[in-house]
Structure 1
Amino acid sequence: MGRGRLSSFDTMPTEAEGIIAWASQELSDRERTQTDIYAEFVEKCEALMKEHRGELEFRIPSFSSFNRYSIRMAKLTRRLDETRAVVAALSERFDPKDADDLTVMTVETIKSMVLHMLADHDDKLLPKDVMQLASAIRQAQQAQSASTYRRAKTMEFLEEAVETVAKMKGMTAETSEAIKRQILGVVN
């Protein structure tokens, strides 16, 4: 089974990838109208062809193609934003350990979503689309690393606090270790 007809964005030369990435960023910023962005997109494409003095000719996507591209990018951005919002809302409702578990689960979900999107759209994704998906994975992994680091620092702080209180109250080392095991699940 074939991949179907290529979109006008798929047929643009690699030299235009920077212009496509710029348009994608402008669309996701939501500060300008699509019509204004498209007009500048056309200008940039024409300038690129002029710069190459006839050695680079390509068909500039029509406004309707630009609109379809915009909708596709908006769906992708919205899906990633919704995932981030759900994670943020859920993490506020859980204690640190539950939030860490949720972070791990979310990172795995994001990775899975990206892999599914790559599998479903590998023939339609532009290099900048892949770059955005890679960025989503990197940000998710950074969140997971930060969560793990925060948990480790919290554990260190709580262990030190238990030891300090134990010394102040004259408790034995065995009692201090028992408290840590009960409260923190730490076994030294």
Structure 2
Amino acid sequence: MTDKADKQGKPTRGRRSKIDLLPDDVKSLLDGLLRDGKNSQQEVLDAVHDYIEQQGLPEDIKPSRSGLNRYATRMEAIGRDLRDVREVSQALVGQLGDKPTGEVSRLILEIGRTQLFKAMMHANEQEGEVDIGMIKDAMLAAQRLESAAMQSHKREKEIRKAFAEEAAATAEKIAKKAGLTAETVSNIKKEILGIA
């Protein structure tokens, strides 16, 4: 695949769009108006241009209609993918029901890995090669997903252990007050703590 070129024949691959380079406050306004969905693209463009003028920012940062259209299309595609992933995740997690959280974490990790793979494949199809920076970002994201799953699992085990210990102590007090034998009290504690 060949690199795209601008009007002067300069390669544009990897260059950030004019909208991506907007100041944070302008970009936030633009994103908010697009998310709202109540405004036409022309109304969004007019509002952004007005805001840029009110802030005394340079005229040359004003996005064009075609640039806004490309950005809005890209954001809608990303939003659609996120909604699809969310729906699939909710359906799969719903099917898991009361299964251990570890299975839910594994499912979420698998979805994350799949999405990273799809993103890398898409980049490869679009540009002919995978950007090293994207691979590093993908690896970092995968590492964070794994770490989050491990922390979640560790925390869940700690909570279960603390709850079991508290329940065992309470059961021991009640059993003693009820006049049960020491052996029976011990057996109840073992059952609660999962030692039996």
Q: TM-score, normalised by structure 1?
A: 0.58
Greater relative contact order (Cα < 8 A, sep 6+): 1
Q: 1:43 aligns with which of 42, 46, 50?
A: 50
Q: In terms of Rg, which structure is larger?
A: 2
Match of 1:60 in 2: 63
What is the letter of the counterpart of residue 51 of structure 1?
A: L
C-alpha spacing 1:141/1:76, structure 2 compared with 1 (3 Å):
farther
C-alpha spacing 1:87/1:152, structure 2 compared with 1 (3 Å):
farther
Q: Which whole-Å CA distance do the structure 2 matches of 1:142 and 1:85 have between them?
A: 24
8 Å contact from structure 1 (residues 87, 106) kept in 2: yes
Once the two structures are superposed, the pairs formed by residues 153-172 of structure 1 within 5 Å of their partners are 153-165=159-171, 168=175, 170=181, 171-172=184-185
Name the count of aligned residue pairs.
Answer: 165
CA offset digits 1:65-91 (Å, max 9, x no partner) = 322321211121222233233333433
* 1:16 to partner: Cα distance: 1.6
Moved over 6 A (4+): 139-143
Match of 1:12 in 2: 18
Once the two structures are superposed, the pairs formed by residues 175-186 of structure 1 within 5 Å of their partners are 176-178=189-191, 180-181=193-194
Percent of aligned pairs sharing the same letter: 17
Q: 1:83 aligns with which of 85, 95, 103?
A: 85
C-alpha spacing 1:179/1:146, structure 2 compared with 1 (3 Å):
closer
Long gaps (5+) in structure 1: 125-132, 182-186
Structure 1 residue 25 and structure 2 residue 25: aligned? Answer: no
Q: Which whole-Å CA distance do the structure 1 matches of 2:42 and 2:154 have between them?
A: 45
What is the letter of the counterpart of residue 70 of structure 1?
A: A
Q: Which whole-Å CA distance do the structure 1 matches of 2:70 and 2:37 have between them?
A: 16
C-alpha spacing 1:14/1:150, structure 2 compared with 1 (3 Å):
same
Q: TM-score, normalised by structure 2?
A: 0.56
* 1:95 to partner: Cα distance: 1.0
C-alpha spacing 1:33/1:11, structure 2 compared with 1 (3 Å):
closer
C-alpha spacing 1:82/1:11, structure 2 compared with 1 (3 Å):
closer
Long gaps (5+) in structure 2: 6-11, 128-137
